[in-house]
Amino acid sequence: MSNYVIIVIILTYLAVLFFIAFLAERKKKSKWVNNPYVYTLSLAVYCSAWTYYGSIGIAANTGIDFLPIYLGPVIAAPLWIIVLRKVIRISNQNKISSIADFISLRYGNNRFLGALVTVVCLFGTIPYISLQLKAVSETFEIMSDNTSYILTNTFHDSTFYVALILAIFATFFGTQNADASEKHTGIIATVAFESVLKLVFFLVIGIYITFYLFDGTTDIYNQIATIDNLKELTTLSGLEDGFNWLFMISLSFMAIFLLPRQFQVSVLENNREKYLKKAIWLFPLYLLVFNIFVIFIAWAGKITFGDDVNAEYYTLYLPLEQGNSFLATLVFLGGFSAVISMVVVSTLALSTMVSNNLIIPYGFLEKFIRSQTERNERYIKNIRRISIFSIIIIAYFFYISFSRELSLYSIGLISFTIIAQLAPSFFIGLFWNRGSSKGAIIGIILGFFITVYTLILPFTLAAYSGTDDFTQYGLYGIAALKPYALFGIDFLSPPAHAFFWSILFNLLAYLFFSLMFKGNYRERNYAEMFVDSRNFSALQDSALVWKGEAYVADIKTMLVRFLGEKKATRALKLFFTKYKLPVDTQLADARLINFSEKLLTGSIGSASAKILIDSVVKEEQISLTEVLRILEESKENIVSNKMLLEKSDELSQLSSKLKDANEELVNKDKQKDEFLDTVAHELKTPITGIRAATELLMDEEDDMPKEIKKQFLTNILQDSDRLGRLINNILDFEKLETGRLSLDMRSLDIQETIKKAVANTQHIAAKKGIKIQIKNVHHFEIKYDEDRILQVFTNLISNAIKFCEPESGNIEIDYKLGNEVLEIAVIDNGKGIPAEDIAYVFDKFYQSQHQNTIKPEGSGLGLAITKQIIEKHKGKIWADKTVKTGAKFVFTLPISYIV
Amino acid sequence: MMYKILIVDDEPNIVMSLEYAFKKKGFEVFIARDGSEVISIVENTVPDIILLDIMMPNIDGYQTLKLIKSKKSLEATKIAFLTAKNKASDIEKGLKLGADKYLIKPFSVKKIVSEILELLE
């Protein structure tokens, strides 16, 4: 096929891709470009020319060793739900534009770390892109009938032009928007399309070779079994191979997360988290299907060509051998598809990193601050365009210098090993908040240099010096420093060996320096946000640890420079509305600083955004003690919450007390009603007696006998007395209860008062045949109101008389000096007080609650009045519970009243 | 014929007036000072009417009424409360328990006698 025909085919194909990208960009919101299948197919950017051609080479030469590169992603896929979802969430919230941005933000927006990651990614990706160029160039050569197409002059090398075309394509779609965190719908659509093409074409050629050229898989197997050392190719031999496999699987496991192009498609271009659910099984399936025919194509090639041609291109040689140039063209296009999607996405990702994490923060920032919006946007886009071009051109020269000698497979592994250096700071940083920027930086640098020493240096030195002394004898001839057998470990393949040592030192350095040196407040703040991403937005918005001063006007000027007047004003308006702040707010708060940083991050990367914002913010250094103080404050909040809880407990206790009090009041009310009822009843009883007797006496028609008349008159008298007594008691009680009674305190002899009381009650007692004795004969002069104390004695004695049996009843009155009191007792040998009533006897409602014990003489107020009188004298009264028979009432009068 | 009346009250002065008035009208009068005394009296006698106070010691008027109602021999005996409790709720309660009349203290002796006679005839 003529070169020109091939060029025309390439251009036509590119035109189709342009058209698809253009269409997708126009219908950004359409379901055709926003679905889990497009997302999953875009992930298949993983399958580059390396997969398309390289796998077959490996399969032909070393058997199933090509598999670990796919097993890693297959193992990783289920973990996406946890890891990738977290990464996507954090990236969306922060407008992350690359993996460099992501890692540098995790470690406190560290500018140097961002640049370092960018450099690592450049070193990791440029050989990878050169691998793609090599594949295009070599397949071009195979397809072309002009075998001497490689000219010494670059400008006559078609590979160079292919590279240029790729660069133009990537530039055109990759730099549509200055905000790199915007989705690249067009590119993703073409990537998905290409993923379908490369898979279909690969399957077509697989089926063609297996079932058309050969008689199925068994036929190939049988044929290869006769000519080759098959066993060696299909089995793992021993522990050493096991280690190789393990390390290769780990390597590809990391690569699926960390390769800039994978980060671009899986994280940055992800529209919805739920797409992951489909991708976790569909993507492994894609890889599986892709690899079905690899081994058979390799064997078929081996059977057909032996070792005459490059095994990597069996898929082209086999149909061409049969004269089927159509099928070969399809295969070529499939490979070209794999190349173009890898190159475009990789350069897009890298150019963003180069501009946002390398060039802008380290050089152009000063210039940006001074210039105008439109120019800034143009500058940013131009930096990216130049980056894309430069990267592809550098990759081209890398290809020219080294790649011709290296296989696709080994170049791919170099890339993987370099990129894997990001693994400790990326993975551990997601789940361990102690991981610090120092640890990350030192780990990455150390790992990178070990990789360079053990993997890159050998072949570059060999390429320049033409000898492999370095590989053979080690640095300065020291055996322990042999690049492929560091410290005597010589059983691993060079990539596995490099991976093992670099990751080991990287990891140890990361852990060691993270534990040794804590990050500053800012770093730890971000670490906390990444590790605890669910609380992320809350933390981000409240921005706990920020202390500084900035004017809204300054921030706005800054935003206008990068986003334009319209966008900046709208963004600020949204911000003020969201947080309900007045539009004329003068001083910016932490939230506005964060918000502005996020806004700018999309355009210029997080590190640059931070530097820019810092330039207008007078941010004070926050010391550790201040952080602790802030934490202390939140602890205080917790404490005050506790206090609130206690307070509410107190309140509920108080309310229950109130409830009790209310119940008591209700109860008292009820008691008062009952008391009034009782009083009314007690008043009505003598009145009823008087009324009835009077009525009978007044009946003139009745001839009433004289004795009965006299009896009725006596009854009337008795009832009148009772009425009078009752009324006096009620009045007394009321006076005592309301405290309106004043005592007439005089110094008197208690003996005399008792004698008077006994004299007053003697006639009632005598009637019942009850004796009253005064046991103590001593005279005590104390101060009291005699009338009231007489009332007390009368009450107690009449009570005793009431409950004593006639004739046998005996009442004793005794007194003695107690502890600063005179203790007086009235003791009887009556029926006593029931145990259940003893608590109530002084209750004014005692009668109403136990009305069955009412005696006609009682008012129900006697003991209640007695108690009031004693208490008024500052004494106490009680019924002695210990007495076995009868009742014993004891009351005290303070001896301070003794004269 | 001669009616038998049982007066149940713990106030001797009131009982005395009632006793005098009913005897004058030709009643045979029995007296009990509370529920427990009622029991022993009705063992031997079936009164035509029982005049019942409510606020009494030991067994009050309500309990006494229940005792009376439980006695088969007293099925034909009329019962009237005579009490100082004059709230509407008290009256309702008394009549609900099965009293035939509810009379209130203080009272006119003449009126009580005529009310009782009316109830009996």
Which residue in B21, B57, B85 is closest to A696 by CB distance? B21
A376 CB-near residues (< 8 Å, 6+ apart): A368, A561, A562
Q: What is the pLDDT of residues A743-786, one digit of tens each?
A: 888 888 999 999 999 988 888 888 889 999 998 888 888 889 99
Between positions 828 and 887 of A, the ones with CB within 8 A of B are 851-856
The confidence score (pLDDT) of residue A160 equals 78
The torsion angles phi and psi of B29, rounded to 5 degrees, stand at -105, 130
Cα nearest neighbour of A703 on chain B: B24
pLDDT of A709 higher than 70: yes
What mean pLDDT comes out for the span A731-738? 81
Query: Average model confidence (pLDDT) for chain B?
Result: 90
Which residue in B11, B16, B108 is closest to A685 by CB distance? B11
Chain B hits for A681, CB-CB cut-off 8 Å, are 55, 84-85
Cα A328 from Cα A315, distance rounded (Å): 8
pLDDT of A291 higher than 80: yes
Cα nearest neighbour of B53 on chain A: A685
Which residue in A677, A712, A852 is closest to B57 by CB distance? A852
Chain A hits for B57, CB-CB cut-off 8 Å, are 852-855
Torsion region of B104: left, alpha or beta (phi above 0 gives left; psi -120 to 50 gives alpha): beta
- Mean pLDDT is lowest, of A250-259, A549-558, B66-75, for A549-558
Min Cα separation A770/chain B (Å): 23
CB contact, 8 Å: A714 with chain B? no
Q: What is the dihedral of CA A174, A177, A182, A188, to 10 degrees?
A: -30
List C-alpha distances in Å: B6 to A275, A530, B14, B49: 99, 98, 14, 6
Which residue in B11, B84, B109 is closest to A696 by CB distance? B109
Which residues are paired to B103 by β-bridges? B82
Chain A hits for B13, CB-CB cut-off 8 Å, are 686, 689, 692-693, 715, 718-719
pLDDT of A225 higher than 50: yes
CATH topology of domain B4-120: Rossmann fold (3.40.50)
- Superfamily of structural domain A3-516: Sodium/glucose cotransporter (1.20.1730.10)
Higher-pLDDT residue of A260 and A676 is: A260
CB contact, 8 Å: B45 with chain A? no
CATH topology of domain A626-731: Helix Hairpins (1.10.287)
**Substitution target from A678, A685, A687, A848 for chain B, most B beta carbons within 10 A:** A685
For the domain bounded by A743-897, which CATH number is listed? 3.30.565.10
Query: Average model confidence (pLDDT) for chain A?
Result: 79
Neighbour order of strands in the sheet with A810-817: A771-774, A810-817, A821-828, A888-894, A877-879
Helix (H, G, I), strand (E, B) or coil at A289: helix
Q: What is the pLDDT of residues A126-149, one digit of tens each?
A: 888 888 888 888 888 888 765 544
List C-alpha distances in Å: A682 to A370, A686, A725, A858: 105, 7, 11, 9
**Substitution target from A670, A674, A684, A699 for chain B, most B beta carbons within 10 A:** A684
Between positions 254 and 313 of A, the ones with CB within 8 A of B are none
The confidence score (pLDDT) of residue A840 equals 76
Percent of chain A with pLDDT over 70: 80
Tokens encoding A257 = 């997360």
The confidence score (pLDDT) of residue B115 equals 92
Residue that has been written with the tokens 């008197």 in this structure: A748
What mean pLDDT comes out for the span A868-883? 88
Q: In the structure, what pLDDT confidence band is assigned to residue B14 with cuts at 50, 70 and 90?
A: very high
The confidence score (pLDDT) of residue A669 equals 77
Q: In the structure, what pLDDT confidence band is assigned to residue A177 with cuts at 50, 70 and 90?
A: low
The confidence score (pLDDT) of residue A444 equals 92
Amino acid identity at A781: E
Helix (H, G, I), strand (E, B) or coil at B32: strand
- Using alpha carbons, select from A518, A535, A35, A577 the residue that is nearest to residue A271: A35
Cα A399 from Cα A321, distance rounded (Å): 28
Q: Give A49-101 as a DSSP string.
A: HIIIIIHHHHHHHHGGGGTHHHHHHHHHGGGGGTHHHHHHHHHHHHT--SHHH
Residue that has been written with the tokens 């534009």 in this structure: A97
Q: Percent helix, strand and coil across chain A, each rounded to 5?
A: 75, 5, 20
Which residues are paired to B4 by β-bridges? B28
Min Cα separation A846/chain B (Å): 14
CB contact, 8 Å: B17 with chain A? yes
Eight-state DSSP code of residue A431: H
CB contact, 8 Å: B108 with chain A? yes
Residue that has been written with the tokens 């690592």 in this structure: A120
The confidence score (pLDDT) of residue A235 equals 57
Min Cα separation B17/chain A (Å): 6
* Contact by Cβ (8 Å): A372, A195: no
CB atoms < 10 A from the CB of A501, how many?
Answer: 21
The confidence score (pLDDT) of residue A544 equals 43
Alpha-helical regions (H) of B3-120: 12-24, 35-44, 61-69, 88-96, 109-120
The confidence score (pLDDT) of residue A477 equals 65
Min Cα separation B78/chain A (Å): 23
* Contact by Cβ (8 Å): B34, B59: yes
pLDDT of A32 higher than 50: yes
Cα A708 from Cα B17, distance rounded (Å): 10
B7 CB-near residues (< 8 Å, 6+ apart): B15, B18, B19, B22, B29, B30, B31, B32, B51
Q: What angle do CA A183, A175, A596 make, to 5 degrees?
A: 65
Min Cα separation A870/chain B (Å): 29
Cα A603 from Cα A611, distance rounded (Å): 13
The confidence score (pLDDT) of residue A841 equals 79
Residue that has been written with the tokens 């109602």 in this structure: B69
- Using alpha carbons, select from A268, A276, A610, A256 the residue that is nearest to residue A427: A256
CB contact, 8 Å: B46 with chain A? no
Instruction: Determine the distance from the C-alpha atom of residue A473 to the mean position of all C-alpha atoms in its chain, rounded to a whole number.
Output: 54
Cα A781 from Cα A851, distance rounded (Å): 40
Q: In the structure, what pLDDT confidence band is assigned to residue A861 with cuts at 50, 70 and 90?
A: confident
Q: In the structure, what pLDDT confidence band is assigned to residue A385 with cuts at 50, 70 and 90?
A: confident
Q: Where in chain A is the domain with CATH 1.20.1730.10?
A: 3-516
What mean pLDDT comes out for the span A615-634? 50
The confidence score (pLDDT) of residue A370 equals 58
Alpha-helical regions (H) of A259-372: 260-263, 275-291, 294-305, 314-321, 325-353, 365-370
Cα A474 from Cα A457, distance rounded (Å): 11
User: Per-domain residue ranges for chain B?
Assistant: 4-120
pLDDT of A636 higher than 60: no
The confidence score (pLDDT) of residue A814 equals 92
Q: What is the pLDDT of residues A799-818, one digit of tens each?
A: 888 888 888 889 999 998 88
CB contact, 8 Å: B111 with chain A? no
- Please answer yes or no on whether B13 and A718 come within 8 Å at the CB atom: yes
- Mean pLDDT is lowest, of A112-121, A165-174, A289-298, for A165-174
Cα B100 from Cα B47, distance rounded (Å): 14
- Using alpha carbons, select from A433, A440, A364 the residue that is nearest to residue A611: A364
CB atoms < 10 A from the CB of A626, how many?
Answer: 15
pLDDT of A320 higher than 60: yes
- Using alpha carbons, select from A68, A69, A66, A73 the residue that is nearest to residue A281: A73
List C-alpha distances in Å: A35 to A28, A764, A850: 12, 111, 87
pLDDT of A180 higher than 70: no
Chain A hits for B24, CB-CB cut-off 8 Å, are 702
What mean pLDDT comes out for the span A581-602? 72
Q: In the structure, what pLDDT confidence band is assigned to residue A899 with cuts at 50, 70 and 90?
A: very low
- Using alpha carbons, select from A558, A553, A563 the residue that is nearest to residue A603: A563
Higher-pLDDT residue of A375 and A219 is: A219
Tokens encoding A84 = 């990738």
pLDDT of A853 higher than 50: no
The confidence score (pLDDT) of residue A480 equals 64
Cα B120 from Cα A35, distance rounded (Å): 103
Cα A474 from Cα A481, distance rounded (Å): 5
